[in-house]
Amino acid sequence: MDILLAFLASSVPALIVYLILKKRNPGKPGYADDCKKAFLNGIKSTLFVVPSALILNILCSLTGLMDINVFVEQFIKDFIFAALLEEVFKIRAFLKVLEESECEYSWLDVTAYMILSGLGFETLESIVYAFTSGAGQVIVRGLTMMHGMFGLITGYFWGKALYTGEKKYKVLAFLIPYIYHGLYDFTLSKELSEYGDFFLFTPVLLAFFSVVLIIVMIVFFRKNRETEKYNVSLRPHIEGDPVSEEVPDLPEQTDSDGNEVT
């Protein structure tokens, strides 16, 4: 019962963020549907991680990499089985929203979609943690919204890549959350905690930084809701989409003396 209550309590912050982001563009056709799709795609992406991690685990075990020492084993588990796969499938879920979207999307919209993809992933993953971890850890996960904040970083830089046309920002969109994610999981593992205070202090610091990012997210959306560069359409015109018709300029009419007729 305690775990169930902890899970419900931890789900409240993600639900609040979902509702706020979904309602931030009430007059934009298709936006709310895309938010819902991003959240659901994030949930679905969780289902691809487990079998993929299992296959990689078997392959790594066959090569003997898992038997070198505890650091190598934990690094592979956290940076490849967890961080790499999870970030890849979350981005895949997010990109599917952009590909299937029938409305214009802006830099702010792109950031919102990726946040919701991360929160969807975290919601289903939290159910697993509810049965395998203590109530305290489940609540901390819910309050810090780590996957949502990874999504904030990814969405911001992906939107910047679309806005500027510079592909280096797509690399940062993946690389920064991946390192952040992997380092958090790696230093949080019980197997490494006995080797030094570094493995105890670092996850606390990273969790605190996630709370800071929640504040940054709130300020970012509030401050830039009217900023042109964050609201201009980033979606390239697709052949077949309706194009607004402009009234052609009429030639000037003049009388016999060359004077303009109004």
**Using one digit for the tens of pLDDT, what is the confidence trace for 104-132?**
999 999 999 999 999 999 988 887 776 76
Phi–psi pair at 47, nearest 5 degrees: -70, -20
Token pair, residue 176, equals 């920064």
| Residue 115 near residue 152 (C-beta atoms within 8 A) | yes
Higher model confidence: residue 215 or residue 72? 215
Radius of gyration of the chain (CA): 23
Residue 262's pLDDT band (boundaries 50, 70, 90)?
Answer: very low
Q: State the average pLDDT for the chain.
A: 85
What is the distance between the alpha carbons of residues 13 and 219, in angstroms, rounded to a whole number? Answer: 16
Residue 12's pLDDT band (boundaries 50, 70, 90)?
Answer: confident
The residue-averaged pLDDT of 215-221 equals: 96
Residue 246's pLDDT band (boundaries 50, 70, 90)?
Answer: very low
The residue-averaged pLDDT of 65-77 equals: 85
Does the pLDDT of residue 252 top 60, yes or no? no
What is the distance between the alpha carbons of residues 120 and 28, in angstroms, rounded to a whole number? Answer: 22
pLDDT in tens, 141-174: 778 899 999 999 999 999 999 999 999 999 999 9
- How high is the pLDDT of residue 239? 37
Straight-line distance from the first to the last Cα atom of the chain, in angstroms, rounded to the nearest whole number: 81
Give Cα separations from 74 to 53, 55, 69, 80, 102 (angstroms): 14, 17, 9, 10, 43
The residue-averaged pLDDT of 220-237 equals: 88
Give Cα separations from 2 to 90, 130, 199 (angstroms): 29, 10, 28
- How high is the pLDDT of residue 134? 67
| Residue 74 near residue 165 (C-beta atoms within 8 A) | no
The residue-averaged pLDDT of 221-235 equals: 93
Q: Which amino acid is at 217?
A: M
Residue 68's pLDDT band (boundaries 50, 70, 90)?
Answer: confident
- Classified as helix, coil or strand, 260 is strand
List the chain domain ranges.
Answer: 2-231
What is the distance between the alpha carbons of residues 198 and 182, in angstroms, rounded to a whole number? Answer: 15
The whole-model pTM stands at 0.85
List the helix and strand counts (H, then E) for the chain: 11, 0
What is the distance between the alpha carbons of residues 125 and 47, in angstroms, rounded to a whole number? Answer: 9
Higher model confidence: residue 143 or residue 233? 233
Does the pLDDT of residue 190 top 80, yes or no? no
Does the pLDDT of residue 2 top 80, yes or no? no
The residue-averaged pLDDT of 197-214 equals: 86
| Site of tokens 């979207």 | 101
- Classified as helix, coil or strand, 233 is coil
Does the pLDDT of residue 81 top 50, yes or no? yes
What is the distance between the alpha carbons of residues 82 and 85, in angstroms, rounded to a whole number? Answer: 6
Residue 33's pLDDT band (boundaries 50, 70, 90)?
Answer: very high
